[in-house]
Structure 1
Amino acid sequence: MQNMTCTHCDTAGLEPGFVEDSGQNSRGYARWIAGHLERGIFGGAKRMGRQSRQIEAYRCSKCGHLELFATYES
């Protein structure tokens, strides 16, 4: 993604990064999962059969606002 502008303060040139998930049994990065959150019998989110995408994050260097995007599969 190029030439992005902050939707909060209209500053150009967002800084790329990622959202880390360091919770128990995590894969190290956050994912977007389609549909409403449903919990399994052990309290974790049900993910089987659902579409998922990795999240790209961009930070505004002026106000700190984060812009998050679910990536497309290649």
Structure 2
Amino acid sequence: MEADGHPAARACGKCGGRMERGFAAENSQNRYSPVKWHPGAPERSWTGMYKIDKKQLRDVMAYRCERCGMIEFYAA
């Protein structure tokens, strides 16, 4: 187990290959940061920006199969 309680080694559900832990990054004004998850469908405010409740944001973890390339995402 890793420090955050997730298994250190995972097997791919598609081909059985080794899954490598990582994260998805988003680029905003040439700065990269990890992607966040928010519940519900996206809604825009009158300014055109998306409505976000920061208390509901969750970190997103990703696992990528080294054999077939499949990616699994998890909101922690």
Contiguous gaps of at least 5 residues in structure 2? 1-5
- 1:5-61 CA-to-partner distances (Å, cap 9, x unmatched) read 2122232x3101111011249771100001111112233221036611010011100
Task: Pick the structure with more strand per residue.
Answer: 2
Q: For the aligned residues, what is the CA RMSD?
A: 2.2
2:74 aligned partner:
69
Total equivalences in the alignment:
70
* Partner secondary structure for residue 58 of structure 2: strand
Map 1:27-42 onto structure 2 (within 5 A): 28-42=33-47
Give TM-score scaled by structure 1 length: 0.75
* Partner secondary structure for residue 11 of structure 2: coil
Give TM-score scaled by structure 2 length: 0.74
